[in-house]
Each structure stands twice: as structure tokens, then as C-alpha cells.
Chains A and B, each alone.
Chain A
Amino acid sequence: MASDALVTRGLTRRFGGRTAVSALDLRVQEGDVYGFLGPNGAGKTTAIRCMLGLIGRDAGEVEIFGEKDPVRQRAHVGAMVETPAFHKWLSARDNLRRATAFAGQGTAADIELALERVGLQGRADEKVQGYSLGMKQRLGIARALVGKPRLLILDEPTNGLDPRGMREIRDLLLELARRDRLTIFVSSHLLGEVEQLCSRVGILERGRMVAEGTVEELLRRSGAAVTEVDLECADAVALGRALEGIAGVSVVGDGEGDRLRVRLDGLSPAELNQRLVQAGVAVSALVPVVKSLEDLFLTLTSQELT
């Protein structure tokens, strides 16, 4: 059984009257790539700050690889919180050297490897002053890698990257997880990215965890009852007429391609098919609409800012 990399129990942080993180229980196992999701203001960054000891907590505890002492915990962690900050008058490489000094571990070779991994080795001697947003983001990830971490805690790491950059960072994180056996805890609201990257997800809403599990588990749980199907039929008029006669079906609009999307209410896709056949309509395709993580996210989280 894999051991726990990061555990929080009852983690709570209030700002004045607002509870930004509320009794957060979370378990990330060694080897996981854990996606920490939530809308703006859900409390992701606040939770991460609490885990790293940057801000105090009103209640709860944090354990990292079984370690309870906050200083020694951080010896295992490489972190990037929000937009990474640098000593701008120092070169990128000198900023990483500074990071290894504070980490107390990490060699010149680690620095070169980290620079190479984020594609910055060619410009590492330039002052960070002249770096673009995306370059700073990459350098921030490189900095998280230099202290020989076992756990990466990354707060929206692809923020500010172009599509290629996002792809590269995603691939890098996957490689770090698979080849270097790093455990990764990554916050994001880019659901497509999380679906491709993460083995487990937790969804935070107003400081509370509203869903947690593997991506498949969550999708299965939410999509257990297929509520929408796309229908394909040569005779669209006949199909429309037949649907009007079936209770529990309503037309939503256009589906994929030339298909018609309908919503089922108390009717399974198989039953719908049977009724259509009875009505003499030959349907050439009946495709359940698979819900994405995005749909789940939108159902579970409200729109207004907390």
C-alpha cells in the first residue's frame, strides 16, 4: 500500500468573518498526481499557504510524509505559490542557487537539469528582470525542482503560459510523476488539463471539499444516470414527430454533427430506443452524451464568488 505524502485534517483558516478554508480533510498518497480544483476564491491558494506554513491556521493539522514538524516537512517539498517572485537583479541561475541554499540541498547539476527541463538553459544567465511572464512561470517550476523534493505543491503552474507551454509543462509533470516518482499536488481551474494529468481530484467550493476521488470515479458518480443522448436519423421530421409522442423526452437542440440532442427524464437510453423502434423510426445512431469533468465542476460549484 502506498504511504501518505500529504494529509490535512480539519484544516481551517478564517480571514475576519470569512472562512476561506473550512475543515479541509485531504489525503494525497505517494505517487499520486492530485488535482486540487475549485472556482476563483474557493480557497485553493489559502489552503496551500496553510500547508506550507506561510500563513497561520485557525485549526487543523498537516502531515507531509508522516512528518509533523513544519520546518522538517518542507525539506520534502518543492513549491510554487501563485505567481513566482524572484530577485529580479539576479540571473535566473543565481535565483536557483539561492533556492538551493535555502533548501539546504541541491547541487549545480540539479540546477542545470531543472533549467533544461523547463527549457531555460539557454537564457539562464540573463537577469530575471527581462523575463516574460511565461518564462518566470517556467523558472518558478524549475525552482520548485531544485531542492530534491519528493512532493511538488504547485498553485496553477500553467498560469500565463501559451498553449505550447501548457502542453510542455503538463508533459513535464507527467514525466516527473512517472519517471522520477514525484508526488504532485497541483491546483488548477483548467479542467481539461486536470483530466489529462491527474490520477485523483478534489473539488473545493467555498473552502469545503465537495467531491474527491479518481477522475473516473467522479465521472461515474455524476454520470451514473445518462441524462442526454444524441440521436441520428435519416428522416429528421419523422424523428421529431415520434419524440413528441414519447413521455419523458425533450429536445435540447443540436448534438454532435447532424445529430439531435435530447434530454431524458426517467427514461433510459435503451427504453428510448425501444419506443422509437415501436414508433417506426429507424435510428442509425444513439449516443449517450458523456459528461466531462467540466460539467461536474460546474454542477458542484456555484457561479457567484464566495
Chain B
Amino acid sequence: MNGRHLLLVIGAEARAIYGRASAKLAVVVALLTGVVVLLALQWLQGQAETIQANGNPITNMVEFSGPAAAGWALRVRNFFVLPLVLLLATAASFAGEIGDQTLREVLVRPVPRWWILLSKALVLSSLAALTLLLTLAPALGGGLALFGAEGPTTTGAVLLGYAASLLSDVGLIALGLLASTFVRSVGGVVVAMMLILMGDMGLRVVLKGMAWVGAAWAEDVGRALPGAALACWEGWQGEWDPWAFAGMAVLLLVGFGGTLWRFQRMDVP
């Protein structure tokens, strides 16, 4: 049990997580997202004469620039496919390993349980970061080459959006790990997360309604719920919502803390 040992464990987790189909899928989808968004913008620019809205050519309404391409790629990426694939990778590495009993095979080794959680969280976060880079690189790089940097969207703002997306992804990973301590199958975790986020959405509607009839605090609480916290990255387009980040801080604390607490006490089959 020393630093070298911990590095070996992280390396072994990396090999397992990156070796799974879910990680490969994440990498491919991330790269495709950047490239496809770029190509779509390029195609749209070529259609300036044919596609018009109220007599205005499309080029007047859509921003064509490197940062704008990167921004569109980020919106598409976060729409739902990549978070879902990341959630799959998370569930496969924890709920999946509990279910197929491979987790037992590492727990009989001289490693504390928190090492295993730490390794999984780090490697999954690195996968999230890698997918963000794989989307950003072609979209921003290709966009700058094709359209230049001119436009209202700045590179700095878009990069902040990508950074905040990493935070959102880590929050999702934390929730996925926590769900894995309750439901010991990959499908179960995905279903549980969908139910939670749907409930969260419903709750936010109710809170909005309460704010509308006069309970001012309700709106702020709604803006800090997990669903809103996971959408904290959206702030790059205009204003950052401090409530979303406060919600994210709570989510990370509850997600990782709760996972650790439950895992330490868990009977592993």
C-alpha cells in the first residue's frame, strides 16, 4: 500500500474502463459529434442562397466561426447521447462489476475500498475529459480554419463551456456511482437515473409554480436541483447561474460521499 501501488490500481482500472465497449462508443460518438457539426455548418454556409427565412439568407442568422462551431458541437454533445454513454461506462464499471462479481476479485486484494472508488472516479472523469477534447478539437480547429474566429461568440466563452461540461460530467459520474450502490445492474442504474431526473424535472415545474404564486425561495431551490446543476454548463452562452453551481457542489458531495459511505459498508457478493 503505497503510491506506486495506487498508480498500478489506477492503471488497471483505466485498462478495464477504456477496454469496455461503452468507452469506445463514447470516443467514437465524441469525435463524430465534432466532425458532423462542423460539416453541417459548412454545408449550411454553402446553402446561403437557397435557404432563406423571411427573405434573409441563412448566413445572416447563423453565426459561422470556429468558436460558434465549437459551441454547437457542445450543445449537440450534451443533448443526451454522450451523457448517456458516460453513464453507461460508469454503471458498467461499478454496478456491472458488483453484479458480475468481478469487483469481489479485487476486494480480496490488499487495497482499501476508497482506492477503488477513487480510481474509478478518476478514470471515468478522464474519459469525460477525453470525449470533450475529441469533440472540441475538430469543431474548433476545423471551424477556425473554415470560418475564422470573427463573431459574437468568443473562444474563451466556449472553452469555459467545455470546462463546465466536464464538471457536469463528473456530477453525472458521481450520481451513477451512487446509483450503482443501490441497483446492481447497468440497465437498472440507467433506468434509476432516468426516473430521478424525470422526478427532478417535475419537481422543478412545481417549484416554478410556487415561485409564480409568491414563494420566492422556490425558484432558487429549483435552480439548484440536480437536473439544473447538471445543466450548469449552459451558462457559457450568457449568464452563469450560481445556484446551479451550488447545486453541483452539493451533488458532488452527496454523490461521492454517499457512494463512499455505502460502499464501505456493502456486502460484496
Contacts and interface: CB of A to CB of B under 8 A. Distances in A.
B47 interface: no
A85 B105 contact: yes
B222 to A, nearest CB: 39
A170 interface: no
Interface string B15-56: 110011000000000000000000000000000000000000
A103 B110 contact: yes
A90 B21 CA distance: 12
Nearest to B21: A89
B110 A104 contact: yes
B156 interface: no
Interface stretch (B4-12, B134-142, B174-182, B205-213): B4-12
Contacts of A143: 105
A136 to B, nearest CB: 12
Contacts of B102: 85-87
Interface size class of A (residues with CB under 8 A): 20 to 34
Contact of B268 (A54, A79, A86, A89): A54
A101 interface: yes
A75 interface: yes
A84 interface: yes
Counting chain B CB atoms within 10 Å of each CB, the highest count among A53, A77, A85 belongs to A85
Interface in A15-73: 49, 52-56, 71-73
Question: Which range contains the number of B residues in contact with the other chain?
Answer: 20 to 34
A90 B108 contact: no
Contacts of A84: 105
Given A71-B110, A99-B109, A101-B11, 10 more contacts: A54-B108, A71-B112, A73-B110, A89-B19, A90-B16, A90-B19, A102-B111, A104-B110, A143-B105, A147-B109
Interface of B: 1-2, 4-5, 8-9, 11-12, 15-16, 19-20, 100-102, 104-112, 265, 267-269
Interface of A: 49, 52-56, 71-75, 77, 79, 81-87, 89-90, 94, 97-104, 143, 147
8 contacts: A55-B267, A74-B110, A75-B110, A79-B108, A81-B104, A83-B101, A87-B102, A102-B12
